């Protein structure tokens, strides 16, 4: 029976958004006040705890091999009377990529890897549908220009579970994928590139990545609290995490099992000690390899102007040309990392043998980076290396001008990996853009034309402009926003790419019309999955012209990503394909599989059982309004679990983190059952 799913219809049908987009993110620019040694950083840290959703954080600074500053803020746990210390550990997310980079460069020093040789020379099992994969070099993995589609790590983020599935199935998953760009054409943030680089390390060295970094990095540097999920260590050292939807429910231990991409645990102090590997006073890497990691790799392909910016990739680094350091002629390598629950940032000043790191539970790598930069700027001031702070100029109110030139040609639809937008230009000088799926609403952002092709928001903080490059038209952003009590954040990046609509044939249009606004639910999640722990894992189908968000429809069952955006605008994409099996429609994207909402079953009034089928597919049940306030108890088999969502799709109960004997149902709620094939719930 088909259930009326009001929550899906009202809350999740308007845009195609896939799980984990934006996870393992990168850095930004900012301005700050520089002063001598003070309580500035501690005050900022406390502000993050009080106002920015951070549960706990650590910070540290190293100068010529000595930890100069170290501190904490927040609580280890909301329920345990236990002191937060410098030895508590955090998942550092994408900052793990710098361990991959260091490992690759060490193997380069040993003559075992050539950065410009194809990956297939080192990993013979590496194959893809797209023959261009043969041109992918090791360098392209480290500078994000490989052309790999996105983030292939289904079940990579788990609670209390170090299952290696995401790593072990990775090469098999890639065999079914194509590339989104010519290798080396441009750099766009790529998690999969570093999972593949991790496998290169394992193939060349003959040992696991965990063992390699233990023998070659953590033990030589004396890092006793830097581990991977596959290491044996005291898990109670890992700081506790919480979701905003269940703020008092302590989660299980954070496991990011795509280790090289984002799964290493560490502390702020030990990240600073690790950073010495990139400094002049450490010999674990050759001077040539250290220098190579800080080269402007971003300029090898399509890019914006060469200027200090939020993303200017080196080898591994998010940026090797970053303000406020660049304004003083100081090179900084910065790497940020975000899992679903934990965050970190590491900034290294190689010329001065100096680094700062921040790790946190809750918040973001951006917040962590601002603190790390403040630590370094204060230290540079104390030592007399800089005399004061270069700050971003405060904006002035824009004066509107009438549109000039041929700017009207830029009206139309623009897409990035997060959505599709309608851009309109009025003759009197207003640019408005909105989510294309909400064109009939009043929702719109208005920018004021000030001349010279620039459109500025009413506050004067943010500018947008159009650019034609490599045969594409882009809408770019350049501006700042204020984080009260923390800093002023600046970014300059590609925002979205113009797309042109075309007519679909009658048969193709009919096939997609049958899916319009229909929900598709993820069905391959492990019961320990973090990705199902906050919202119902559902996406929906809604075409705009012949586009499904940034995906162009090419036939009745397939849509392909049709954007080429450097930096981050075209990250985390794939090919969408639909097929039917036993009368039920499925949607596949990379390593994930979704089932039509038509397959959702109803909760039964008295008693019923749920069996996970032989393929291990998750099962979804819906409780209508008549179940409001009814109690339900669930007997959970071994290696299984469930999540309960309210009518809006927000998770309210996860059996992995909470094991109630019974609970009360809400009207229109959903229950997701997960477990090994054959598992039966009662």
DSSP code string of 162-187: ---HHHHTHHHHHTT---SS-TTSB-
Residue 555 CA to residue 509 CA, distance in Å, equals: 9
DSSP 332-389: -EEEEEE-SSEEEEEEEEGGGTEEEEEEEESS-HHHHHHHHHHHHHHHHHHTTS--S-
State the residue for tokens 């003959």.
206
Name the burial class of residue 602, with classes exposed (0-12), middle (13-18) and buried (19+) by CB atoms within 10 angstroms of its CB: middle
Give the closest residue to 105 by CA, choosing from 113, 94, 95: 113
Enter the tokens of residue 153.
């790590």
Give the closest residue to 449 by CA, choosing from 396, 496, 394, 402: 402
Residue 507 CA to residue 511 CA, distance in Å, equals: 6
pLDDT of residue 195 exceeding 60, the answer is yes
Gyration radius (Cα) of the chain, Å: 25
> What pLDDT digit, counting tens, does each position of 227-263 carry?
999 999 999 999 999 998 889 999 999 999 999 999 9
**pLDDT exceeding 90 applies to what percent of the chain?**
84
Structure confidence at residue 37 as a pLDDT band (50, 70, 90):
very low
Given a contact cutoff of 8 angstroms between Cβ atoms, the answer to whether 318 and 68 are in contact is no
Given a contact cutoff of 8 angstroms between Cβ atoms, the answer to whether 73 and 49 are in contact is yes
Beta strand 663-664 with 592-596: parallel, antiparallel or unpaired? Answer: unpaired
Residue 23 CA to residue 150 CA, distance in Å, equals: 11
Distance, CA of 511 to chain centre: 32
> What's phi and psi for 401, nearest 5 deg?
-120, 155
pLDDT of residue 445 exceeding 90, the answer is no
> What's phi and psi for 318, nearest 5 deg?
-65, -40
Enter the tokens of residue 243.
């979701």
Residue 16: partners with Cβ closer than 8 Å, 6 or more residues away = 419, 539, 540, 541, 542, 548, 549, 551
Tell me the average pLDDT across 487-503.
93
Residue 473: partners with Cβ closer than 8 Å, 6 or more residues away = 410, 466, 467, 497, 498
Enter the tokens of residue 283.
């010999």
Enter the tokens of residue 682.
């009662």
Residue 30 CA to residue 481 CA, distance in Å, equals: 9
Residue 16 CA to residue 299 CA, distance in Å, equals: 32
Q: Write down the pLDDT at residue 39.
A: 73
- Mean pLDDT, the chain, rounded, equals 92
CA pseudo-torsion sign 532, 535, 538, 543:
negative
Q: Write down the pLDDT at residue 15.
A: 30
Residue 200 CA to residue 270 CA, distance in Å, equals: 25
pLDDT of residue 291 exceeding 90, the answer is yes
pLDDT of residue 47 exceeding 50, the answer is yes
Structure confidence at residue 478 as a pLDDT band (50, 70, 90):
very high
Residue 430 CA to residue 434 CA, distance in Å, equals: 13
Tell me the average pLDDT across 497-514.
97
pLDDT of residue 24 exceeding 60, the answer is no
Q: Write down the pLDDT at residue 34.
A: 45
Q: Average the pLDDT over each of 5-9, 176-180, 293-297, 562-566 and give the range with the smallest value.
A: 5-9
Q: Write down the pLDDT at residue 396.
A: 81
pTM above 0.85, yes or no: yes
Structure confidence at residue 18 as a pLDDT band (50, 70, 90):
very low
Beta strand 669-675 with 601-602: parallel, antiparallel or unpaired? Answer: unpaired
Q: Average the pLDDT over each of 59-68, 109-118, 437-446 and give the range with the smallest value.
A: 437-446
Give the closest residue to 345 by CA, choosing from 487, 494, 522, 513: 487
> What pLDDT digit, counting tens, does each position of 343-400 carry?
999 999 999 999 999 999 999 999 999 999 999 999 999 999 998 765 656 678 899 9
Return the SS3 of 41.
helix
> What pLDDT digit, counting tens, does each position of 577-624 carry?
999 999 999 999 999 999 999 999 999 878 899 999 999 999 999 999
Structure confidence at residue 8 as a pLDDT band (50, 70, 90):
very low
Give me the half-sphere count of Cα atoms (radius 13 Å) on the Cβ side of residue 362. Answer: 28
Given a contact cutoff of 8 angstroms between Cβ atoms, the answer to whether 577 and 597 are in contact is no
Tell me the average pLDDT across 311-315.
97
Between 317 and 24, residue with greater pLDDT: 317
For the chain, the residue count is 682
The count of other CB atoms within 10 Å of the CB of residue 64 is 12
Enter the tokens of residue 382.
């104390």
CA pseudo-torsion sign 175, 180, 183, 184:
negative
Q: Write down the pLDDT at residue 565.
A: 98
Give the closest residue to 370 by CA, choosing from 595, 130, 22, 52: 52
C-alpha distances (whole Å) from 71 to each of 268, 451, 485 are 9, 48, 18
Q: Write down the pLDDT at residue 361.
A: 98
Distance, CA of 534 to chain centre: 16
Q: Write down the pLDDT at residue 606.
A: 82
């Amino acid at each position: 029976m088909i259930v009326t799913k009001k929550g899906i219809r009202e809350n999740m049908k308007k845009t195609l958004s896939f799980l984990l987009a934006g996870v393992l993110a990168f850095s930004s620019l900012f301005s700050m006040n520089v002063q001598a040694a003070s309580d500035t950083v501690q005050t900022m840290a406390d502000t993050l705890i009080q106002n920015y959703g951070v549960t706990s954080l650590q910070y540290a600074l190293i100068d010529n091999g000595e930890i100069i500053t170290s501190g904490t803020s927040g609580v280890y746990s909301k329920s345990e009377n236990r002191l937060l210390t410098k030895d508590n550990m955090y998942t550092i997310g994408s900052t793990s990529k710098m361990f991959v980079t260091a490992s690759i460069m060490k193997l380069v020093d040993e003559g075992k890897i050539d950065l410009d040789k194809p990956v297939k020379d080192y990993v013979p099992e590496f194959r893809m549908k797209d023959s261009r994969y043969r041109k992918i070099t090791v360098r392209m993995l480290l500078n994000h220009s490989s052309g790999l589609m996105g983030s292939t790590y289904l079940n990579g983020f788990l609670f209390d579970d170090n299952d290696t599935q995401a790593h072990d199935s990775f090469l098999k998953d890639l065999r079914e994928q194509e590339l989104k760009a010519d290798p080396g054409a441009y750099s766009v943030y790529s998690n999969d590139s570093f999972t593949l680089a991790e496998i290169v390390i394992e193939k060349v060295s003959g040992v696991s990545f965990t063992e390699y970094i233990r023998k070659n990095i953590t033990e030589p540097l004396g890092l006793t609290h830097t581990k991977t999920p596959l290491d044996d260590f005291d898990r109670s050292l890992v700081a506790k995490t919480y979701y905003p939807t269940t703020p008092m429910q302590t989660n299980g231990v954070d496991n990011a099992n795509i280790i090289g991409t984002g799964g290493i645990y560490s502390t702020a102090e030990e990240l600073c000690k690790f950073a010495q590997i990139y400094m002049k006073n450490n010999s674990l890497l050759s001077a040539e390899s250290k220098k190579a990691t800080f080269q402007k790799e971003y300029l090898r392909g399509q890019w914006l102007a060469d200027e200090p910016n939020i993303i200017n990739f080196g080898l591994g680094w998010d940026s090797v040309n970053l303000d406020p350091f660049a304004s003083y002629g100081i090179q900084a390598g910065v790497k940020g990392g975000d899992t679903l629950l934990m965050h970190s940032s590491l900034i290294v000043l190689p010329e001065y043998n100096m680094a700062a790191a921040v790790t946190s539970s809750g918040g973001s790598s951006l917040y962590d980076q601002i603190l790390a930069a403040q630590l370094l700027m204060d230290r540079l001031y104390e030592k007399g290396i800089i005399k004061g702070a270069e700050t971003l100029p405060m904006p002035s109110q824009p004066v509107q001008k009438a549109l000039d030139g041929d700017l009207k040609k830029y009206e139309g639809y623009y897409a990035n990996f997060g959505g599709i937008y309608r851009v309109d230009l009025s003759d009197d000088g207003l640019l408005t853009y909105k989510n294309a799926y909400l064109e009939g609403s009043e929702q719109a952002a208005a920018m004021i034309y000030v001349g010279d092709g620039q459109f500025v928001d009413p506050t004067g903080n943010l500018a947008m402009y159009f650019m034609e490059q490599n045969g594409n038209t882009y809408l770019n952003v350049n501006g700042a926003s204020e984080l009260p009590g923390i800093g002023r954040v600046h970014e300059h990046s590609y925002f979205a790419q113009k797309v042109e609509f075309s007519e679909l044939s009658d048969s193709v249009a009919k096939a997609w019309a049958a899916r319009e606004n229909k929900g598709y639910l993820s069905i391959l999640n492990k019961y320990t999955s973090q990705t199902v722990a906050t919202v119902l894992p559902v996406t929906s189908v809604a075409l705009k012209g012949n586009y499904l968000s940034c995906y162009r429809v090419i036939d009745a069952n397939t849509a392909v990503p049709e954007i080429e955006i450097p930096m981050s605008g075209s990250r985390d994409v794939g090919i969408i394909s639909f097929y039917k099996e036993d009368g039920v429609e499925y949607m596949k994207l990379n390593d994930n599989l979704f089932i039509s909402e038509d397959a959702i079953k109803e909760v039964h009034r008295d008693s019923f059982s749920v069996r996970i089928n032989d393929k291990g597919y998750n099962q979804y049940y819906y409780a209508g309004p008549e179940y409001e306030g009814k109690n339900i108890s669930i007997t959970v088999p071994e290696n299984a679990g469930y999540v309960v969502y309210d009518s809006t799709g927000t998770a309210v109960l996860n059996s992995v983190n909470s094991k109630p004997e019974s609970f009360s149902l809400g009207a229109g709620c959903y229950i997701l059952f997960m477990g090994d094939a054959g598992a039966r719930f009662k």
